[in-house]
Each structure stands twice: as structure tokens, then as C-alpha cells.
Amino acid sequence: MLVLTGPARRPEPGMLRYIVQRLIYMVIVLWLISIATFIIIQLPPGDYLSSVIERLESAGGNVSDEIIEGLRLRYGLDLPIHLRYFNWFSSVLQGNYGFSYTWQQPVRDIIGERLVLTFAIALLSAIVTYAVAIPIGIYSATHQYSVGDYVVSFIGFIGMAVPNFMLALVMMYVAFRFFGHNLSGLFSPEFIDQPWSLAKVGDLVKHLIIPVVVVGTAGTAGMIRVLRGTLLDELNKQYVITARSKGVSETTLLFKYPVRLALNPIVSGLASLFPALVSGGVITAIVLSLPTVGPMLLKALIAQDTFLTATLLMFITVMTVFGTTVSDVLLVVLDPRIRMDRGVA
């Protein structure tokens, strides 16, 4: 990347300290998330045990007090709340997330694939967002008030105004109406139980276009506007005029400093972009019935499947926190001014 050109830098001690600080902070946030998750598990009226007993009774069995007492002991429900939290937390650390009674399977077995897909869509959308937003933002700023600029700004505004799910609906409608594809789900019916092949990959890509475009659009619109704004500010500065008067070519003039400076807010935007992409992905996936965590979370919430709900929320949040941390660290590596500002150097 442009910003990294120049003599190779050795990480300074200040920067290392900042990164360590950031990681410690991340651990604290993750711990807070675990508490929030635990509270969500405890929130619904009645505990896990009463639903177990209900199911045993509805199955026709007569549940005696002794059995209930035994179950209470086994699940540790008579312990004070902080000990229960500790028990739950240690089992989570061991990869045991409880049992989903709507799926009749351990939570661990059903979420893995969906988490991977969710992450893949968020990552792809992020790449698409940057790939589209940066060139357009630069064009828009260098051709201020041109027709192209107006068109881009207008599309950008529309992109922010259209709710994600509606864009997904409209695109699905267009694809169905004019191209005859039913693009909901991840694979066309004929590929679902097939082994992997080139045709199947092609089918997957076709189905991923809509979610990636839909999830990426909102972020792209915002990013174009930020980039255009900052770049316009930079282009009016003295150093640009000086460089131009010295005969530096317009391209060098543009890319050497102003663009590099204007990219900073974009990189720091990554921190808020990632939660937005995950959020957008949830609703889009529900509309398009993609096998990501979105539809699963909604179903689990409505069915009050507490362990599944809590685990999904926890993973979504953890994913976001990781994304935010990475972007913060990236920003410090890229922009020396931030090291100074935060009193790190």
C-alpha cells in the first residue's frame, strides 16, 4: 500500500505499548461481553431446568421432586449467581456452549459453519466497499461539481437511505423478474447435496453477489462521502498549491500526499464499518434466507432458545471486537500523528 512505501520502519517501543494496551482493553471488553451474555441467558422467566422438566412431563413422565433436586444439583442451579457465572464461563472456555433445544443438538455443532459464512460475507463486503469507495471518492473530489460527482453523490445518498432489507428484496425481485434466477439461499436446489465442483462454486458466487452488494452499499455510500470531504479539504491546502507551482504532475500531486492523508479517516472508519457490516449482514441474510447466523439468531430469539441465542450474540460481538481492535492497531501503524495524540510515543 502507498502509505507503507519509504524506508522500512522498526516498530517503536511506544507503539508496542499502545498495541499491548489495546489488547488488554480488548480482553476487558470480551469479559464484559461474557457477563452480558450470561445475563441474557438468565433473563427469561424460569430457568433452563423448568423447560427441561416441562419437556419431561409433556413426554408423559412423572417428574418427582428427587429427580428435580438431582437435576438442580447437576446443573448447579442452587449455587449463588457468581458461582453459576463462573461455571458457565469455564465451560464456554472449554468450547461447551450448552444445548439448543430447538435444534436438539449441542450449540457447538450447529454454529461453526454459519459463523464462517457470516465472517466471509462481512469480509467480502468490506473488500468490495473499499474497492468501490476509494476510486469513486477520489474521482468525486477531483471532479467536484461535475456531472459524475452529482451522480455519485446522489447514488451515495440513496445508498444510505434505502434500508438493507429493501435493497435485498428489490435486487431479488429484479434478478427473478428479468434474469429468471431465484437467488435466495446459498445454492440453487440442484447443487445443495452435490459434491464440490466448479459449477457449484459458480452457483455459490452467483448467490453471494446480492448479499455482498447489499451489505456493502451502505458502507460504500458513507465512505465515499467521507473521502470526498477530507480530500477536498486537503486539496485546498497550501502545500498542494506549492507543489503545483513547482511543476509537480497532477497525478503525483494527488497521490503523493492528499490521498494518503484522506485515507486516514477511511482506515479509522474500519472500526465502525465492521459492526455495521455484521449488523447489515444479519438482516440481509434473513431476507435472502442465507445459512448465516442472522436467521438462526432470529429464530432462536423468538423460540427463546437461550443457549443458542446467547452464544450467537457472543460470537457476533466477539467478531466485532476483534475487527475493531485490528483496525485500531492498523491505524496506529499507518498514522504517526495518532501515536503522538494518544500520548503513546
Partner 1 sequence: MSAQAAIRQEERDESYYLASQWQLMWRKFRRHRLALVGMSIIAVLYFIALFPEFLSTSDYQLRHSGYAKAPPHTIYFLDDDGVFHFPPFVYEMKQTLDMETLQRIYNEERDQRYPLRFFTRGDPWKILGLIETDIHLVNVDKPGVVFFFGTDEFGRDMFSRTMQAARISLSIGFIGVVISFVLGCLIGGISGYYGGIIDVFIQRVIEFLISIPHIPLWIALAAALPANWSSTQVYFGITIILSILSWPNLARIVRGKLLELREADFVMAARISNMNDFDIIVKHLLPSFASFLIVALSLSVPFMIISETALSFLQIGIRPPAVSWGVLLQGAQNIRALSQSPWLLIPGIFVIITVLSFNYVGDALRDAADPYKQ
Report the interface residues with partner 1, using CB under 8 A.
29, 32-33, 40, 43-44, 157-158, 160-166, 169-170, 172-173, 176-177, 182, 184, 272, 275-276, 278-280, 282-283, 286-287, 297-298, 301-302, 309, 312-313, 316-317, 320-321, 324
Q: How many helices (H) and strands (E) does the chain have?
A: 14, 2
| Cβ closest to partner 1, residue 44 vs residue 70 | 44
CB of 301 to partner 1, least distance (A): 4
| Cβ closest to partner 1, residue 267 vs residue 316 | 316
Task: Give the span between the Cα atoms of 204 and 213, in whole angstroms.
Answer: 14
Residues 6+ apart with CB under 8 A from 168: 210, 211, 214, 284, 287, 288
CB of 52 to partner 1, least distance (A): 21
CB of 85 to partner 1, least distance (A): 18
Residue 329 one-letter amino acid = V
| Cβ closest to partner 1, residue 33 vs residue 266 | 33
Question: Which of these, 284, 338, 316, 305, lies nearest to 44 by C-alpha position?
Answer: 305
DSSP 3-state assignment of 106?
strand
CB of 252 to partner 1, least distance (A): 29
CB of 332 to partner 1, least distance (A): 16
End-to-end CA distance of the chain: 24
Q: What is the DSSP letter of 261?
A: H
β strands within 24-113, DSSP E: 99-100, 105-106
